Amino acid sequence: MPPKEIITQNNIKNYFDYRAVGPGQLKPGMLISFRYQSPDRHIHDINPLVYIVERKADRVFGLNLHYHFGLMGGLILLKRKELEAKTGLNNTTNDPIKPNKPNQPNVPEKNTNPIHNKSTLPNPKLITAKPSVQQQQQDIAAAKAQERLGKQKPGVIQAPVQKQIIRIPPQLLETYELQIEPIQILRNYLFPRMSAMQKLIFKP
């Protein structure tokens, strides 16, 4: 089994789409990315990735996940579990934290072929002669014709099988949960200093 993929700042776009968003659309549980400026220019991260905890009239309080990027793996796993529970969608492709299953011992399968069981060997007197090549071809053609008749009755046109489409509410793909919320990375960001704001939409 290939090693599990670890989510990094280089491959994060494999898991999320980015869409423009305004301050009035922000709500707790969202992930947002933006450019931040300060008059004194003493900023450690000018492009933070923030998990919103609370929104006020003039600012947003949130956790800058750039300072604790390991939380992203748990966030993605919780979102996938939520989608599976609410929509039946089961997607474990490129799961960043899904543990590998332990190696299963190679147990040989039981041979159920009766020819290898001495107690069920066929009676030589009952073995018939091998059919001719022409007879084999006729049998194959007859089997195919029977199969076609079984799939479609005469005079009846079968309707095409439609693929089931799972529709996921958009709001379900733009809010998240964290396993823990470390207070040491909690920050507040003023709206007038924020620009190029984008929300992260989960890719199911």
Q: Which residue has the tokens 């909690």?
A: 186
Q: Assess whether pLDDT exceeds 90 at residue 113.
A: no
Q: Which two tokens stand for residue 93?
A: 């492709």
Summarize pLDDT for 23-55 with one digit per residue, the tens. 999 999 999 999 999 887 778 899 999 999 999
pLDDT surpasses 50 at 123: no
How does the average pLDDT of the chain come out, rounded? 78
Nearest to 76 by CA among 97, 107, 99, 54: 97
Q: Is the pLDDT of residue 152 over 70?
A: no
Q: Quick check: pTM over 0.85?
A: no
pLDDT at 162 over 50: yes
- Alpha-helical regions (H) of 69-195: 71-87, 133-151
Give tens-digit pLDDT for 51-90. Answer: 999 999 999 999 999 999 999 999 999 999 999 998 876 6
Alpha carbon of 82 to those of 77, 147, 151: distances in Å? 9, 43, 39
With beta carbons less than 8 A apart as the criterion, state whether 198 and 33 touch: yes
Q: Given a cut of 60, is residue 154 above it in pLDDT?
A: no
The Cα–Cα gap between 153 and 61 comes to 66
For residue 86, what are its two tokens?
């609410």
Mean pLDDT of 165-184: 87
Is the pLDDT reported for residue 186 higher than 80? Answer: yes
pLDDT value of position 1: 38
pLDDT in tens, 87-105: 876 665 545 554 334 444 4
Half-sphere exposure of 77 (CA within 13 A, CB side): 16
- Dihedral angle over CA of 86, 88, 94, 96, nearest 10: 40
Domain ranges within the chain, ordered by starting residue: 12-98+168-202
- From the list 3, 58, 20, the residue with the least C-alpha distance to 201 is 20
Residue 157: per-residue pLDDT: 58
pLDDT at 9: 87
